Amino acid sequence: MAETLVTVVCLLSSAALTAARAPHIVFVLADDFGWYDVGYHGSEIRTPNLDRVSAGGVRLDNYYVQPICTPSRNQLMTGRYQIHTGMQHQIIWPCQPYCVPLNEKLLPQYLKEAGYATHMVGKWHLGMYKKDCLPTRRGFDTYFGYLTGSEDYYTHGHCYPISALNLTRCALDLREGEEVATGYKGVYSTELLSQKAIGIIEKHNSDKPLFLYVALQAVHAPLQVPERYLSPYRFIKDTHRRFYAGMVSAMDEAVGNITLALQQAGLWENTVLVFSTDNGGQTLSGGSNWPLRGRKGSLWEGGVRGVGFVASPLLKRPGTVSRELIHISDWLPTLVGLAGAIPNTTNPLDGFNVWNTVSNGFASPRLELLHNIDPLFTDIAPCPGREHQLTLAEGVSRDSWANSVFNVSIHAAIRSSNWKLLTGFPGCDIWFPRPGFNRSRSSPFKPDPLKPVMLFNIEKDPEEREDVSAWFPSVVDNLLSRLHQHQKSALPINFPDDDPRCDPGPTGAWGPWA
């Protein structure tokens, strides 16, 4: 009895302590920032701010995101796998009438309940066909940003072909709250969004905990950057890579500015800053994930192993590198936990609270990671010389996987400790050469033909060069049955046809139409 009482008192006082000192949370999400694009991974691109801020924090070396944009943001905001929101397929295109299901409770809603001021700046991309889907209706007190994907960094316009109308519509996509924001034409997005974020930091009343989600446009295509960021990169011969490098420098400066603003506002001592990419780099637009295989859009490591770190004076072991398995869906329970709250949702979470892993270096509570299961997958970007999707699917029925519990034609991947199993066509599988290096020298391998089931030991073989499925049949069987279990819990895919009523017309802006 006495012991129980003591426990209760301890729990209460630690909860009270947490509540009293709930940290400010700043989450910076970069777009399409590749593994080899940060200075501390050896890149030729200079990122002094990311290097410095992360050096004082904890760099996440075994950190995973989703291979494309909407899914990563979806999991960040819900703490749940895409198969559990029906969003396992692709991104939300501007005219598709759907959004993250409205019965999902999003991160800012939890934090708002825990007493936070909640602000968002930047890219939403979680659906906007009706007003109830907008960030301001889903937990954010304020919002400044754009609702769709890839847009012009200066005009803030986005072009999309509306096939039912036989036209490509180019229209503004920028909002302040729910209103269209005009008057920012010509202001470079990376500077605009970081200025907006800094404005929020400067105005914030530090008595209240702050949640600021900064979803930068950088460094997604199109390749646009002010000249002053380009000049240090004259030594880069490849034009795409040179522009991309400039864009990374601008983003790096933005993160430096935001960090400085937190310090100047007196918030930094009680701030947890998370930096994460949303997916691997896009090699078609200057990004690099070297030496990892594949790229954005694929389930290879180049698509899903992400640059990420946590910086905070509250970390118990600053200046370390965490090699523990952490996933983007883990931030929701982690950050809600830091807020002193419990994610009291009726929808079961797939994420884990990894604060003790990040801060104290404890073992990760995450033993498994479902990368995705998408029966409708097709690779939508060109992958030169690798159009083997069909041969792969045809081969399946003839081979030994015909009786597998899981349909191995399906694009899927799962990680369990060091093992990673891939089925179906994982997406573009090239080992893209290190930027500036000679393709023929850096890729001596002639890869094995892809098989419908492949197993890699990621710890020993992070480049996914040696499929060891033949040597570990029981691991393969186990992981196939895990995929089968996960697939049984999946919602049907929601991927509706375009609704031509989305058309904002020649002078309108992208936004809710229903």
Ligand X SMILES: *[C@@H]1O[C@H](CO)[C@@H](O)[C@H](O)[C@H]1NC(C)=O
Of 103, 440, 474, 507, the one binding ligand X by CB under 6 A: 440
Nearest to 307 by CA among 25, 26, 27, 30: 30
- Using rule CB under 6 A, residue 231 touches ligand X: no
Question: Which candidate in 41, 69, 156, 411 is catalytic?
Answer: 69
Nearer Cβ to ligand X (327/411): 411
C-alpha distance across the termini of the chain, in Å: 59
Nearest to 70 by CA among 29, 26, 118: 29
Nearer Cβ to ligand X (4/346): 346
The number of beta carbons lying within 10 Å of the beta carbon of residue 511 is: 23
- Using rule CB under 6 A, residue 190 touches ligand X: yes
> Are the beta carbons of 99 and 129 closer than 8 angstroms?
yes
The stretch among 29-37, 153-161, 190-198, 447-455 that binds ligand X (CB under 6 A) is 190-198
Cis peptide before 506 (omega within 30 of 0): no
Per DSSP, the three-state class of 114 is coil
Of 194, 276, 364, 404, the one binding ligand X by CB under 6 A: 194
- Amino acid sitting at position 289: N
Nearest to 372 by CA among 106, 89, 91: 89
Q: How far is the CB of 261 from ligand X (least distance, A)?
A: 9
- Using rule CB under 6 A, residue 379 touches ligand X: no
Q: How far is the CB of 30 from ligand X (least distance, A)?
A: 13
> Are the beta carbons of 329 and 306 closer than 8 angstroms?
no
- Using rule CB under 6 A, residue 72 touches ligand X: no
- Using rule CB under 6 A, residue 409 touches ligand X: yes
- β-bridge partners, 211: 25, 118
Nearer Cβ to ligand X (164/180): 164
Of 121, 392, 410, 502, the one binding ligand X by CB under 6 A: 410
Q: Phi and psi of 197, rounded to 5°?
A: -65, -40
Binding mask 155-184 for ligand X (x = CB under 6 A): -----------x------------------
| Cα(20)–Cα(114) distance, integer angstroms | 11
Q: How far is the CB of 232 from ligand X (least distance, A)?
A: 15
- Using rule CB under 6 A, residue 372 touches ligand X: no
> Are the beta carbons of 220 and 240 closer than 8 angstroms?
no
Indicate if 125 belongs to the active site: yes
The stretch among 23-31, 68-76, 83-91, 435-443 that binds ligand X (CB under 6 A) is 435-443
Nearer Cβ to ligand X (438/507): 438
Q: How far is the CB of 101 from ligand X (least distance, A)?
A: 15
- Using rule CB under 6 A, residue 250 touches ligand X: yes
Nearer Cβ to ligand X (118/194): 194
- Using rule CB under 6 A, residue 438 touches ligand X: yes
| Cα(298)–Cα(379) distance, integer angstroms | 8
Indicate if 69 belongs to the active site: yes
Of 51, 191, 461, 499, the one binding ligand X by CB under 6 A: 191
Of 231, 344, 474, 507, the one binding ligand X by CB under 6 A: 344
Nearer Cβ to ligand X (72/194): 194
Which helix (H) or strand (E) segment holds residue 326: the answer is: strand 326-327
The number of beta carbons lying within 10 Å of the beta carbon of residue 441 is: 9
- Using rule CB under 6 A, residue 253 touches ligand X: yes
Nearer Cβ to ligand X (58/120): 120
- Using rule CB under 6 A, residue 375 touches ligand X: yes
- Using rule CB under 6 A, residue 407 touches ligand X: yes
Q: Which value, to the nearest 10 degrees, does the dihedral of the CA atoms of residues 390, 89, 364, 109 take?
A: 180
Nearer Cβ to ligand X (226/512): 226
- What is the secondary structure of 125-176 as a DSSP string? -S--SSGGGSGGGTT-SEEEEESSSS--TTT-EEEEEEGGGTEEEEEE--EE
Give every CB contact of residue 183 below 8 A, 6+ residues apart in sequence. none
| Cα(180)–Cα(508) distance, integer angstroms | 9
- Using rule CB under 6 A, residue 113 touches ligand X: yes
Buried-state track 173-197, b at ≥16 Cβ within 10 A, e below 16: bbbeeeebbeebeeebbbebbbbbb
Find where tokens 């200046």 sit: 319
The stretch among 62-70, 83-91, 381-389, 434-442 that binds ligand X (CB under 6 A) is 434-442
Question: Which candidate in 41, 84, 89, 125 is catalytic?
Answer: 125
| Residues annotated catalytic, as ranges | 69, 125
Site of interaction with ligand X (CB under 6 A): 113, 166, 190-191, 194, 250, 253-254, 257, 344-346, 375, 407, 409-410, 438, 440-441
